[in-house]
Amino acid sequence: MRRNRAENDASHAKLTRRAALLGGAQLLFMGGLAARMRYLQVDQADQFRLLAEENRINIRLIPPARGEIFDRNGMRLAQNVPSYRIVMVREDAGDVDLVMERLTQVIDLDPETYADALAEIKRSAPFLPVTIVDDVSWDTVSKVSVNAPALPGITPEVGLTRVYPRGSDFAHVVGRVGRVSQKDLDALEDPDQVLRIPRFQIGKINVEAREETKLRGTAGTKQVEVNATGRVMRELERREGQSGADLQLTIDAKLQGYVQARLSGESAAVVIIDCENGDLAAIASAPSYDPNLFIGGISSADYNPLLNSEYRPLVNKTVQGTYPPGSTFKMMTAMAALEEGLIGPDDTVYCPGHLEVADRKFHCWKRAGHGWVDLENSLKQSCDVYYYDLALKVGIEKISAMAKRFGLGIKHELALSSVAAGLTPTKAWKKAARDADWVIGDTVNASIGQGFMLASPLQLAVMSARIATGRAVTPRLIKSIDGIEQPIDAETPLGMNENNLRKMRRAMYEVVNNRRGTAYRSRIIADDMRMAGKTGTSQVRNITAAERARGVTRNADLPWERRDHALFVSFAPYENPRYAVSVLVEHGGGGSVAAAPIARDVILQAMAGGDPPLEAYPTGDRGRIKTQQRKLREIQPQAAIDGNDQA
Amino acid sequence: MSYLEYTVKSVPAGFRKILFLNWPLALLLASVCGIGFLMLYSVAGGSFSPWAEPQMKRFALGLALMITVALIPIWLWRNLSGVAYGVSLLLLIAVAFIGEERKGSQRWIDLGFIDLQPSELMKITLVMFLAAYYDWLPAKKVSRPFWVLLPVLIIILPTVFVLKQPDLGTSILLLTAGGGLMFLAGVHWAYFAAVLTSAIGLITAVFQTRGTDWQLLNDYQYRRIDTFLDPAADPLGAGYHITQSKIALGSGGWTGRGFMQGTQSRLNFLPEKHTDFIFTTLAEEFGFIGGISLLGLYALIIIFCVATAVRNKDRFSSLLTLGIALNFFLFFAVNMSMVMGMAPVVGVPLPLVSYGGSAMLVLLLAFGLVQSAHVHRPR
Write out pLDDT tens, residues A5-19.
Answer: 667 777 888 888 999
Residue B264: closest C-alpha in chain A: A52
Residue A49: closest C-alpha in chain B: B251
Q: Test B315 with A47 for CB contact under 8 angstroms.
A: no
Check A168, A327, A417, A464 and give the catalytic one: A327
Chain A residues whose beta carbon lies within 8 Å of the beta carbon of residue B309: 19
CA distance A87 to chain B (A): 17
% chain A with pLDDT above 90:
58
Polymer length of chain A: 647
CA distance B214 to chain A (A): 30
Mapped onto helix, strand or coil, the DSSP state of residue A87 is strand
Chain A residues whose beta carbon lies within 8 Å of the beta carbon of residue B291: 37, 41
pLDDT band at B5 (very low <50, low <70, confident <90, very high): very low
Q: Hey, which residues does A571 pair with through a beta bridge?
A: A532, A580
Asked whether A571 and A579 are in contact (CB, 8 A), the reply is yes
Mapped onto helix, strand or coil, the DSSP state of residue A276 is coil
Per-residue pLDDT, A453:
94
Computed over its alpha carbons, how large is the radius of gyration of chain A? 34
B22 touches chain A (CB under 8 A): no
Per-residue pLDDT, A232:
66
B61 touches chain A (CB under 8 A): no
- The answer on pLDDT for A123 being more than 60 is yes
A478-481 and A484-485 as β-strands: parallel, antiparallel, unpaired?
A: antiparallel
Per-residue pLDDT, B6:
39
Distance CA B64, CA A644 (A): 73
Write the residue in B291, B326, B342 that is nearest to A41 by C-beta. Answer: B291
Mapped onto helix, strand or coil, the DSSP state of residue A61 is strand
Mapped onto helix, strand or coil, the DSSP state of residue A279 is strand
- The answer on pLDDT for B256 being more than 90 is no
Per the annotation, the verdict on A168 as an active-site residue is no
Mapping DSSP onto H, E and C, the string for A147-186 reads CHHHCCCEEEEEEEEEECCCHHHHCCCCCEEEECCHHHHH
Distance in angstroms between the alpha carbons of the first and the last residue of chain A: 91
Residue B246: closest C-alpha in chain A: A40
Per-residue pLDDT, A226:
63
pLDDT band at B238 (very low <50, low <70, confident <90, very high): low
State CA A532 to chain mean position distance: 29
Q: Test A15 with B318 for CB contact under 8 angstroms.
A: yes
CA distance A65 to chain B (A): 20
Distance CA B103, CA B94 (A): 19
A129-136 and A69-70 as β-strands: parallel, antiparallel, unpaired?
A: unpaired
Per-residue pLDDT, A45:
73
Distance CA A318, CA A447 (A): 23
Distance CA B82, CA A132 (A): 64
Per-residue pLDDT, A400:
95
Q: Test B310 with A19 for CB contact under 8 angstroms.
A: yes
Q: Hey, which residues does A160 pair with through a beta bridge?
A: A82
Please list the alpha-helical segments (H only) found in chain B. Answer: 23-43, 52-71, 74-98, 118-136, 145-164, 168-185, 189-208, 219-229, 240-252, 278-311, 315-339, 357-375
The pLDDT mean for chain A works out to: 87
A238 touches chain B (CB under 8 A): no
- The answer on pLDDT for A638 being more than 70 is no
How many other CB atoms sit within 10 Å of the CB of residue A67? 21
A51 touches chain B (CB under 8 A): yes
Region of B356 on the Ramachandran plot (φ > 0 left; ψ -120 to 50 alpha; else beta): left
The model's pTM: 0.61
CA distance A19 to chain B (A): 6
Per-residue pLDDT, B358:
80
Write out pLDDT tens, residues A428-479.
Answer: 999 999 999 999 999 999 999 999 999 999 999 999 999 999 999 999 999 9
Write the residue in B139, B268, B318 that is nearest to A196 by C-beta. Answer: B268
pLDDT band at B7 (very low <50, low <70, confident <90, very high): very low
CA distance A178 to chain B (A): 21
Write the residue in A19, A51, A125 that is nearest to B247 by C-beta. Answer: A51
Would you call the peptide bond into A291 cis, given omega within 30 degrees of 0 as the criterion? no
Q: Test A15 with B186 for CB contact under 8 angstroms.
A: yes
CA distance B213 to chain A (A): 30
Mapped onto helix, strand or coil, the DSSP state of residue A374 is coil
Per-residue pLDDT, B280:
85
Q: Hey, which residues does B158 pair with through a beta bridge?
A: none
What is the mean predicted confidence (pLDDT) over A301-305?
Answer: 89
Residue B141: closest C-alpha in chain A: A11
A22 touches chain B (CB under 8 A): yes
Say which range, A168-182, A549-563, A609-623, has the weakest mean pLDDT. Answer: A549-563
Write the residue in B264, B303, B329 that is nearest to A52 by C-beta. Answer: B264
A371-373 and A532-538 as β-strands: parallel, antiparallel, unpaired?
A: unpaired
CB-facing half-sphere around the CA of B240: CA atoms within 13 A: 15
Asked whether A106 and A144 are in contact (CB, 8 A), the reply is yes
Per-residue pLDDT, A618:
93
How many other CB atoms sit within 10 Å of the CB of residue B356? 21
Per-residue pLDDT, B228:
61
DSSP code, position A541? S
Distance CA B256, CA B215 (A): 44
Per-residue pLDDT, A619:
92
CA distance A261 to chain B (A): 47
Q: Which domains does chain A have, with CATH numbers?
A: 58-249 (3.90.1310.10), 261-296+317-611 (3.40.710.10)
What is the mean predicted confidence (pLDDT) over A179-193?
Answer: 80
- How far CA A298 is from CA of A66, A195, A210, A314, in Å, comes to 21, 20, 22, 13
Chain B residues whose beta carbon lies within 8 Å of the beta carbon of residue A8: 315
B258/B133: higher pLDDT: B133
- How far CA B264 is from CA of A56, A125, A132, B249, in Å, comes to 10, 12, 24, 9
Per-residue pLDDT, A1:
40
A268-274 and A579-585 as β-strands: parallel, antiparallel, unpaired?
A: antiparallel
Asked whether A50 and B350 are in contact (CB, 8 A), the reply is no
Residue of B134, B136, B184, B191 to mutate for A, most A C-beta atoms under 10 A: B184
Mapped onto helix, strand or coil, the DSSP state of residue A548 is helix
Mapped onto helix, strand or coil, the DSSP state of residue B109 is strand
Mapping DSSP onto H, E and C, the string for A565-606 reads EEEEEEEECCCCCCEEEEEEECCCCCHHHHHHHHHHHHHHHH
Write the residue in A41, A125, A223 that is nearest to B288 by C-beta. Answer: A41
Per-residue pLDDT, A126:
67
Top-confidence range, B9-18, B85-94, B340-349, B356-365? B85-94
Per-residue pLDDT, A446:
94
Q: Which amino acid is at B318?
A: S
- The answer on pLDDT for A254 being more than 60 is yes
- The answer on pLDDT for B169 being more than 90 is no
Distance CA B283, CA A38 (A): 11
Asked whether A11 and B139 are in contact (CB, 8 A), the reply is yes
A617/A548: higher pLDDT: A617
Domain ranges of chain B: 14-375
Chain A residues whose beta carbon lies within 8 Å of the beta carbon of residue B251: 45, 48-49, 51-53
Distance CA A87, CA B101 (A): 40
Write out pLDDT tens, residues A386-428.
Answer: 999 999 999 999 999 999 999 999 999 999 998 999 999 999 9
Residue A60: closest C-alpha in chain B: B269
Give helix B145-164 / helix B74-98 axis angle, nearest 10°: 40
What is the mean predicted confidence (pLDDT) over A556-563?
Answer: 80
Q: Test B291 with A51 for CB contact under 8 angstroms.
A: no
The four Cα atoms B268, B270, B276, B281 give a dihedral, to 10 degrees, of: -70
A196 touches chain B (CB under 8 A): yes
Contacts 24+ apart (CB under 8 A), A339-346: A339/A402, A339/A496, A339/A497, A339/A500, A340/A394, A340/A398, A342/A390, A342/A393, A342/A394, A343/A375, A343/A390, A343/A393, A345/A374, A345/A375, A345/A376, A345/A500, A345/A503, A346/A374, A346/A375
Per-residue pLDDT, A639:
54
The pLDDT mean for chain B works out to: 82
Write out pLDDT tens, residues A74-102.
Answer: 999 999 988 888 888 877 777 888 888 88
pLDDT band at A644 (very low <50, low <70, confident <90, very high): very low
CA distance A414 to chain B (A): 29
In terms of Cβ atoms closer than 10 Å to its own Cβ (0-12, 13-18, 19+), residue A555 is buried
Mapped onto helix, strand or coil, the DSSP state of residue A313 is coil
Q: Hey, which residues does A76 pair with through a beta bridge?
A: A70
Residue of A15, A91, A225 to mutate for B, most B C-beta atoms under 10 A: A15
Residue A125: closest C-alpha in chain B: B45
Per-residue pLDDT, A542:
61
What is the mean predicted confidence (pLDDT) over A96-125?
Answer: 83
- A134's enclosing H/E stretch is strand A129-136
What is the mean predicted confidence (pLDDT) over A623-646?
Answer: 74
What is the mean predicted confidence (pLDDT) over A299-313?
Answer: 89
Q: Which amino acid is at A520?
A: Y
- The answer on pLDDT for A370 being more than 70 is yes
B328 touches chain A (CB under 8 A): no
A233 touches chain B (CB under 8 A): no
Residue A123: closest C-alpha in chain B: B45
